[in-house]
Amino acid sequence: MRMKIALLPGDGIGPEVTREAVRVLRAVGDIYGHNFEFDEKLIGGAAIKQMNAPLPTASLDACLESDAVLLGAVGAPEHDHLPPDKRPEAGLLTLRRALGAYANLRPAISYQAVIDCSPLRAGVVAGADILFVRELLGGLYFGEPRGFIKDNGASAAFNTMRYSTEEIERIARVAFAAALVRRRKVTSVDKANVLETSQLWREVVGRVALDYKEVTLEHLYVDACAMHLVMNPRRFDVVLTENLFGDILSDEAAVITGSLGLLASASVGGEVGLYEPVHGSAPDIAGRGIANPLGAISSAALLLRHTAHLEQEAQDVETAIRTVLDAGYRTPDLDCGQSKYIASTTEMGALVAESIAEVADMRHAYHAV
């Protein structure tokens, strides 16, 4: 298989973690005979500095001409004073919209090896395996009108939360289809006791559920969901929700996994899939070689699964991550007592890349027996 991947490392730890994701994809290419071609471009603060725009045309064009986009993170404190449409984050929002990637898939899995890194009791998080399906192109992040106004001389600001039936239906279908190949349960999260958009959300999701009789549907208010996520995360299989609620709840899920640095995401549904770790640019640790690259590497595994349709290769990358963690290797964010060896960002990437060959060999040996 030949694939062209647009690479947007971005800001802060973005370049550090994407370098390791690329290392792992190259290892997959070597082992299984695939050709991944990378086209590196600027986004975010790095693009503002060099091109005076958070998403230069050359970067957007490269993404639209690729099979998939692998992104690090955007955001830098030096740009925090800029208006929202000029900030690094605006580049990412424009890219998501241009790609038409409306379905953001965010798996949150509790790995046994790092279970003690969660501030929650091991008995609470053990076995938790949740897929967040977050609507990515609607709601408050994109709703118009929006802006700053003067209200009787005083400053005020406003945003619009808007959802159409079509937007809700297409994301609901993604969630139900995902649940069919998992544990067949969808929890739809809204605030239907207060918001009209949520009332429409609940109605449309209920209608879509009729086409998926094998899947159990439950509705939860977002405040209750936030509590249940940390009280009993195992009760969840697929969590379906709108843009803002999904952003917040999937970060909360970092508590279940033990570190934000482990979480991956895939944004699909458009012409070109976008793959990026859930975390931001982490300016507090950037340039120190201590960022956890496993979220970026897991995002590369999602790229193999959802865009390349290389399920075996995706599973082998995920098994390699588990193998390295089981062997006791940890980046500092995962150092909670039982680490055998504290690995730098590059060491962790190299360990996973090396482990893939062993995982593939063991699978072949198993099938041969």
Closer CB to ligand NAD, 8 or 189, in the complex: 8
Catalytic-role residue among 102, 141, 163, 212: 141
Told to judge if 223 belongs to the known catalytic residues of this protein, a careful annotator would answer: yes
Closer CB to ligand NAD, 87 or 219, in the complex: 87
Closer CB to ligand NAD, 74 or 133, in the complex: 74
Q: Minimal distance in Å, beta carbon 266 to ligand NAD?
A: 13
* Chain residues that interact with ligand NAD, rule: CB under 6 A: 13, 17, 73-75, 89, 92, 260-261, 276, 279-285, 291-292, 295, 333
Cα distance between residue 134 and residue 141, in whole Å: 13
* Cβ proximity of 317 and 49 under 8 Å: no
Closer CB to ligand NAD, 5 or 294, in the complex: 294
Catalytic-role residue among 102, 190, 191, 212: 191
3-state secondary structure the chain: CEEEEEEEEECCCHHHHHHHHHHHHHHHHHHHCCEEEEEECCCCHHHHHHHCCCCCHHHHHHHHCCCEEEEEECCCHHHCCCCHHHCHHHHHHHHHHHHCCCEEEEEEECCHHHHHHCCCCHHHHCCCEEEEEEECCCHHHCCCCCEEEEECCEEEEECCCCCCHHHHHHHHHHHHHHHHCCCCEEEEEECCCCCHHHHHHHHHHHHHHCCCCCCEEEEEEHHHHHHHHHHCHHHCCEEEECHHHHHHHHHHCHHHHCCHHHCEEEEECCCCEEEEECCCCCCCCCCCCCCCCHHHHHHHHHHHHHCCCCHHHHHHHHHHHHHHHHCCEECHHHCCCCCCEECCHHHHHHHHHHHHHHHHHHHHHHHHC
Closer CB to ligand NAD, 81 or 150, in the complex: 81
Told to judge if 361 belongs to the known catalytic residues of this protein, a careful annotator would answer: no
Told to judge if 191 belongs to the known catalytic residues of this protein, a careful annotator would answer: yes
Catalytic-role residue among 61, 80, 223, 326: 223
Told to judge if 251 belongs to the known catalytic residues of this protein, a careful annotator would answer: yes
Q: Minimal distance in Å, beta carbon 341 to ligand NAD?
A: 17
Closer CB to ligand NAD, 222 or 282, in the complex: 282
* Cβ proximity of 239 and 174 under 8 Å: no
Q: Minimal distance in Å, beta carbon 135 to ligand NAD?
A: 16
Cα distance between residue 115 and residue 257, in whole Å: 7
Q: Minimal distance in Å, beta carbon 7 to ligand NAD?
A: 14
Told to judge if 247 belongs to the known catalytic residues of this protein, a careful annotator would answer: yes
Q: Minimal distance in Å, beta carbon 365 to ligand NAD?
A: 34
Q: Minimal distance in Å, beta carbon 94 to ligand NAD?
A: 13
The set of catalytic residues is 141, 191, 223, 247, 251
